[in-house]
Chains A and B, each alone.
Chain A
Amino acid sequence: MTEIFRMNEAQPRLLDEMRQGVVGKPLSRPEGPKKVTGTARYAAEDLPDGCVHGVLVRATISRGRVTGLDREAIRDMPGLIDVITDARLLRNPAQGMAGVAPCQPNGEVFYHGQPIALVVAESLETARDAAHRLPVHYEEIAFETDPEAAQDREDKDPETAGHFDATFAASSVTIDARYRTDAQAAAAMEPHAAIAQWSGETVLLRGSLQMLRFNRDELADSLGIDPERVRILSPFIGGGFGSKLGIGPEAVAAAIASEKIGRPVRVVMSRQTVFDTVLRRSETLQRVRLGADGDGRLRAISHDDLVSNLPGESFAEPVSQASQFLYGADGLSFSQTLARVSRTPSGSVRAPGEAVGMLALESAMDELAEKLGLCPVELRLRNIPETHPMTGQAYSVRRLADCLRTGAEQFGWARRGAPGAQVEGDWRIGMGVASAARKSALVQSAARVRLLGDRAVVETDMTDIGTGSYAILGQIAGEMLGLPVEKVDVRLGDTSFPGASGSGGSFGANSAGSAVFLAAKKIRAELAAQLGCAPGELALQDGIARGGNIERALTDLVSSEIVHEAEIAAGDTSKSHLSSGFGAHFAEVAVNVWTGEVRVRRMLGVMAMGRILNEKTSRSQALGGMIWGIGSALTEALEHDPRTGHIVTRDLANYHVPSHADVPGDMSVVFLEERDDMANPIQTKGIGELGISGAGAAVLNAIAHATGARVRDFPALPDRVIRAIEMAGV
């Protein structure tokens, strides 16, 4: 067992002292060429000999139980192998970091679209056809699909500081506004897929999963076997965005079928099945109340929300997460109601909480600025608190004010005129701003680093969901060991490697990166000892070690290999300090006053999110987040059938992620230099989710500025913009 390093105090900025100079550089992803030449093998692509195909059968009632499957009706289909029902099949994917099996409904149906059986056949086409033809008998019971009408609801105790009611009442200017956000889908390009293959007592699962250490336990628990008997491979993942955090119905069904049939089984969800059964982002109803003094100092902040999930799911979209620490006030109150409805269950989708909560909070801040007659940038600057208003924690490092100021200057904010004043034919032009915040975390993570002369190998079960894990872990190891990145072979996505945080909650780089850093640091200590110098005197660069007036090639110094493992976990600093990325988004839009169409003309995100490990992959993450912000503001909405609750927009033609034409050519990202000493030994913060947090609000605020009309139902689809324009009478 390696000893766990706990982050109990600030650590020296060792990476800044290294000589190789690869950390931070805009290096391309090492696996990129494989991905664009089709040689990166994704979960469904490595078909073992004799592999057969499974297709999940979908429930077509919203609540009740399966009373029978008419297997006879399809028995004679050529190539059909089996129809599998099993008490261990999953109702839906596990929530992130569950580590145990999610609900196994054993014939009970909780939502329309729930997987209830697996049809296995020699070909995918036959399996699909059979799944489609299989008659299913049900017993239905009453259900509710509308979160706002649901009787079955849990009111969480409000989280408060000071006295909201009193301070709100005493405020000279107040805002009390309700906002709605439609449900969203992660819409990863690669559908959820698994191939299961048993050999003796152990099962090998090729899957598309984000958090293997947890997924292994979840799969074992689902199957009722020991985790030692499960190995998962997930070297490449075609996007996850939270939708692949937990083990899913496809993986468990494949494992069960493969054991029963005695052949490898592949289960690939159709695009429609992905929409039906993969955890979505809950729709929200939000109420934000803000009270301020005449000079724009906040006295009261309250953010209440209603979200939904299936019975039994613990997850509730943490809508007000950022509202609790972004601005300060004397009285604060945050409450949540969780409605239990028969809809596809909800879970973590990129930046759970901030992605939708900040749409409302930052819209309300804009409405307040308008009412106060104050510049929206200035209002935000005036309300940056000294310490965490709810917990009293210190902020580790926070450059929110710098981001706002830099952004305002670079975007040309000073040119912003009166609302509705800039006219180009039938189009109105406006600018909007929003703050960005996304909590950062450190999750227990282990890694092994091998130094083999002038090359190194990194091994961890960390995943790369398209974000750049391969790149940054190679950069960290290369930096610490004095090797160019080409000499570092990063091996990920295999549960036989040391268990890492996985990719989720923007903590992958912080956590897995720190584990690699610590393992490499141990190797450095050993090299220093061999050279006879103190670790601090050791300099490594391009395969040469220098220290104590000695200079030797690593190939001489390392006879066979030096191997070290390290493990890190959060410690005291996570209690004493709040670590969060901060930033500011700026958007300029054109709104057609007749048709309600909105076009984003340019966007700027200024972000301070700790040490940037790779300038290129970080920028891509930030841009990707901002583009989803455009989606949240303008295009992305899951539609649920009002009667059955099922998702009607079940494919990528009808669920509208932003197209190229929705994204302006002029999209820029500026990183402000930062080191978070309290976060982890590599001084990073989460990167993957800050870009989306607040971005949509900048677009929505720009719409309000362009037209003088405020949309409060998001996304701002053309008809919603028209309604706002007609209501405002502009």
Chain B
Amino acid sequence: MRPFDYERATSLHDASERMSDAAAIIAGGTNLLDLMKIQVMTPSRLVDISRLDGLDRIDDHDGGLRIGALVTNTALATDPRVRAGWPVLSRAILAGASAQIRNKATTGGNLLQRTRCPYFYDTAMACNKRAPGTGCSAQGGSGRMLALLGTSEDCLAAHPSDMAVALAVLGASVEITAPSGELRTLPVTQLYTLPGNRPDIETDLKQGEIITAVVLPAPRPGTAQTYRKVRDRASYAFALVSVAAVVLMDGDTIAEASLAFGGIAPRPWTDGSVNALLAGAEASDESFARAAAQLVPDSAPHPETEFKRPLLRRTLIATLREATGLAGRVDTARSL
């Protein structure tokens, strides 16, 4: 581990002032400290925002919620308002990490956690994200945790957050405070940039900008919400594929459906054309299969992510079967 200065910010403004290329914000530290120990991240200064006032509150806001950046994953997942109005968010958070980590992890930190690509984690391996211009050793390497969509020649990494997938499906936005004190908001889906030839740039955030809150729009009454995460063990593993769904039914017909996907792209993935296909469709395996065909690419960018194509298709169908109540009906459950 490299030596670093530890500084406790006294205000947001103070925190912004202390930021530089060589500085990093520390919130819960559950991702940053791990990466510092293995020297994947080597900031020379840590600016601790975890004790700043007011960032750990969940407030009612325009019929929705304003969630402070320091609200812990546990506090957010267990908030009664969240559980009642946005259950998909609760479920997604609880599907991630472990209770101990969630107790410490924050809303802002969760959004900005780094990829779990094993080559990013190993400083002996070339990685354009960690060390721009060195190459991508995931190409031709071991690929189970890599992305299926939104990748580039230079980077195959997937974004690992579960929470972000739920926020994406709910149309949440991120509130960002600039060093000047100015606020701007971005939809969660626009917070992240695709890797292209600059995989080291992961978000739209400018130097000194701090995420101060996440804003949830008013809940959609009558919707069924679900988060389905398929992984290599029942708990405490990152998603191979995950699907967040918010579905409004009208009898046997889907009135509206909103889907977001995790584990398959450098950001929580959404595809408006898939939602559009489902709107007005009958809730049936055929409709779901059509939606899956629309979403799943014809080929995988890496031979070892090939398996994610059928897995994504099937998980999407399984999630919709669950959200629309089809899965419960034993007569249809036998047909694949």
Task: Give A648-662 as 1s and 0s: 1 = Cβ < 8 Å from B's Cβ atoms.
Answer: 111001101011111
User: Within A586-636, which residues are at the interface with B (CB < 8 Å)?
Assistant: 592-597, 599, 634-635
When distances are taken between beta carbons in the complex, the residues of chain A under 8 Å from B327 are 425-426
Q: How far is the CB of B175 from chain A (nearest CB, A)?
A: 30
When distances are taken between beta carbons in the complex, the residues of chain A under 8 Å from B317 are 594
When distances are taken between beta carbons in the complex, the residues of chain B under 8 Å from A641 are 141-142
When distances are taken between beta carbons in the complex, the residues of chain B under 8 Å from A272 are 38
The reply to whether the CB of A726 lies closer than 8 angstroms to some CB of chain B is yes
The reply to whether the CB of A719 lies closer than 8 angstroms to some CB of chain B is yes
Stretch from B103-111, B116-124, B218-226 contacting the other chain: B116-124
When distances are taken between beta carbons in the complex, the residues of chain B under 8 Å from A417 are none
Contact A661 B235 (CB under 8 A): yes
The reply to whether the CB of B307 lies closer than 8 angstroms to some CB of chain A is yes
Contacting residue for B233 out of A128, A635, A639, A719, CB 8 A = A635
| Complex Cα spacing A524 to B263, Å | 67
Q: How far is the CB of A75 from chain B (nearest CB, A)?
A: 17
Q: How far is the CB of B205 from chain A (nearest CB, A)?
A: 25
Contact B142 A656 (CB under 8 A): no
Contact B230 A129 (CB under 8 A): no
The reply to whether the CB of A643 lies closer than 8 angstroms to some CB of chain B is yes
Task: Give B126-163 as 1s and 0s: 1 = Cβ < 8 Å from A's Cβ atoms.
Answer: 00000000000000111011000000000000000000
Contact A423 B333 (CB under 8 A): yes
The reply to whether the CB of A134 lies closer than 8 angstroms to some CB of chain B is no
The reply to whether the CB of B1 lies closer than 8 angstroms to some CB of chain A is yes
Q: How far is the CB of B95 from chain A (nearest CB, A)?
A: 10
Contact A634 to B233, CB < 8 A, known contacts A58-B124, A125-B1, A719-B307: yes
The prevalent SS among residues of B at the interface is: loop
The reply to whether the CB of A642 lies closer than 8 angstroms to some CB of chain B is yes
When distances are taken between beta carbons in the complex, the residues of chain B under 8 Å from A355 are none
Contacting residue for A132 out of B123, B141, B237, B333, CB 8 A = B123
In the complex, which residue of chain A has the Cβ closest to the Cβ of B236? A659
The reply to whether the CB of A722 lies closer than 8 angstroms to some CB of chain B is yes
Contact A599 B311 (CB under 8 A): no
Q: How far is the CB of A436 from chain B (nearest CB, A)?
A: 23
The reply to whether the CB of B33 lies closer than 8 angstroms to some CB of chain A is no
Q: How far is the CB of A728 from chain B (nearest CB, A)?
A: 11
The reply to whether the CB of A718 lies closer than 8 angstroms to some CB of chain B is yes
In the complex, which residue of chain A has the Cβ closest to the Cβ of B142? A648
Task: Give A556-600 as 1s and 0s: 1 = Cβ < 8 Å from B's Cβ atoms.
Answer: 000000000000000000000000000000000000111111010
Contact B3 A132 (CB under 8 A): no
Q: How far is the CB of A271 from chain B (nearest CB, A)?
A: 9
| Complex Cα spacing A405 to B136, Å | 56
Contact A722 B310 (CB under 8 A): yes
Q: How far is the CB of A310 from chain B (nearest CB, A)?
A: 19
Q: How far is the CB of A464 from chain B (nearest CB, A)?
A: 27
Contact A642 to B333, CB < 8 A, known contacts A592-B318, A650-B122, A659-B233: no
Contact B142 A640 (CB under 8 A): yes
| Complex Cα spacing A425 to B328, Å | 5
The reply to whether the CB of A717 lies closer than 8 angstroms to some CB of chain B is yes
Contact A60 B1 (CB under 8 A): no
| Complex Cα spacing A726 to B74, Å | 39
Contact B232 A656 (CB under 8 A): yes
Task: Give B301-335 as 1s and 0s: 1 = Cβ < 8 Å from A's Cβ atoms.
Answer: 00000011011001101100110000111100110
Contact A656 B237 (CB under 8 A): yes
In the complex, which residue of chain B has the Cβ closest to the Cβ of A427? B333
Q: What is the size, in residues, of chain B's interface with A at 8 Å between Cβ atoms?
A: 45
Contact B142 A639 (CB under 8 A): yes
| Complex Cα spacing A654 to B318, Å | 25
Q: How far is the CB of A726 from chain B (nearest CB, A)?
A: 7
When distances are taken between beta carbons in the complex, the residues of chain B under 8 Å from A639 are 118, 142, 144
Contact A718 to B232, CB < 8 A, known contacts A593-B336, A594-B318: yes
Contacting residue for A726 out of B3, B231, B310, CB 8 A = B310
In the complex, which residue of chain A has the Cβ closest to the Cβ of B314? A594
Contact A423 to B118, CB < 8 A, known contacts A596-B230, A659-B236: no
Contacting residue for B240 out of A654, A660, A719, CB 8 A = A719
| Complex Cα spacing A640 to B304, Å | 12
Contact A642 B230 (CB under 8 A): no
Q: How far is the CB of A630 from chain B (nearest CB, A)?
A: 9
When distances are taken between beta carbons in the complex, the residues of chain A under 8 Å from B321 are 426, 594
| Complex Cα spacing A448 to B146, Å | 57
Contact A648 B333 (CB under 8 A): no
Contact A426 B333 (CB under 8 A): yes
Contact A659 B140 (CB under 8 A): no
Contacting residue for A423 out of B142, B228, B314, B330, CB 8 A = B330
Q: How far is the CB of B265 from chain A (nearest CB, A)?
A: 18
Contact A425 to B230, CB < 8 A, known contacts A594-B314, A643-B141, A650-B118: no
Contact B330 A642 (CB under 8 A): no
The reply to whether the CB of B84 lies closer than 8 angstroms to some CB of chain A is no
When distances are taken between beta carbons in the complex, the residues of chain B under 8 Å from A425 are 327-330, 333
Contact A125 B236 (CB under 8 A): no
User: Within A293-351, which residues are at the interface with B (CB < 8 Å)?
Assistant: none
Q: How far is the CB of A713 from chain B (nearest CB, A)?
A: 12
When distances are taken between beta carbons in the complex, the residues of chain A under 8 Å from B144 are 639
User: Within B7-64, which residues are at the interface with A (CB < 8 Å)?
Assistant: 37-39
Contact A662 B330 (CB under 8 A): no
Q: How far is the CB of B233 from chain A (nearest CB, A)?
A: 4
In the complex, which residue of chain B has the Cβ closest to the Cβ of A637? B232
Contacting residue for A599 out of B123, B231, B234, CB 8 A = B234
Q: How far is the CB of B174 from chain A (nearest CB, A)?
A: 26
When distances are taken between beta carbons in the complex, the residues of chain A under 8 Å from B308 are 719
| Complex Cα spacing A572 to B308, Å | 57
The reply to whether the CB of B2 lies closer than 8 angstroms to some CB of chain A is yes
Contacting residue for A595 out of B2, B3, B314, CB 8 A = B314
| Complex Cα spacing A650 to B38, Å | 12
Q: How far is the CB of B264 from chain A (nearest CB, A)?
A: 13
Contact B140 A643 (CB under 8 A): yes
| Complex Cα spacing A425 to B308, Å | 23
B124, B232, B237, B315: most-surrounded residue (chain A CB, <10 A): B232
Contact A642 B142 (CB under 8 A): yes
Contact A595 to B142, CB < 8 A, known contacts A648-B118, A654-B118, A659-B235: no
In the complex, which residue of chain A has the Cβ closest to the Cβ of B119? A648
When distances are taken between beta carbons in the complex, the residues of chain B under 8 Å from A658 are 233
Q: How far is the CB of A628 from chain B (nearest CB, A)?
A: 13
Contacting residue for A659 out of B234, B238, B314, B328, CB 8 A = B234
Contact A595 to B330, CB < 8 A, known contacts A650-B118, A656-B237: no
When distances are taken between beta carbons in the complex, the residues of chain A under 8 Å from B333 are 423, 425-426, 593
When distances are taken between beta carbons in the complex, the residues of chain B under 8 Å from A132 are 39, 123
When distances are taken between beta carbons in the complex, the residues of chain A under 8 Å from B145 are 654
Q: How far is the CB of B42 from chain A (nearest CB, A)?
A: 9
Contacting residue for A718 out of B142, B236, B240, B329, CB 8 A = B240
| Complex Cα spacing A641 to B232, Å | 18
Q: How far is the CB of B43 from chain A (nearest CB, A)?
A: 14
Q: How far is the CB of A63 from chain B (nearest CB, A)?
A: 15
User: Within A676-730, which residues are at the interface with B (CB < 8 Å)?
Assistant: 717-719, 722-723, 725-726, 730
Q: How far is the CB of A188 from chain B (nearest CB, A)?
A: 18
Shortest Cβ-Cβ A-B pairs, 7 listed: A594-B318, A661-B235, A661-B234, A719-B307, A125-B1, A635-B233, A60-B124
14 contacts between A and B (CB under 8 A): A425-B329, A594-B314, A594-B321, A595-B228, A596-B311, A599-B234, A639-B142, A650-B118, A656-B233, A661-B236, A718-B231, A719-B310, A722-B311, A726-B310
Further 18 A-B residue pairs, CB within 8 A, beyond A635-B232, A650-B122, A654-B118: A129-B2, A132-B39, A423-B330, A424-B330, A426-B327, A594-B314, A594-B315, A594-B317, A595-B228, A640-B142, A648-B118, A648-B141, A649-B118, A653-B116, A718-B230, A718-B311, A719-B240, A722-B310
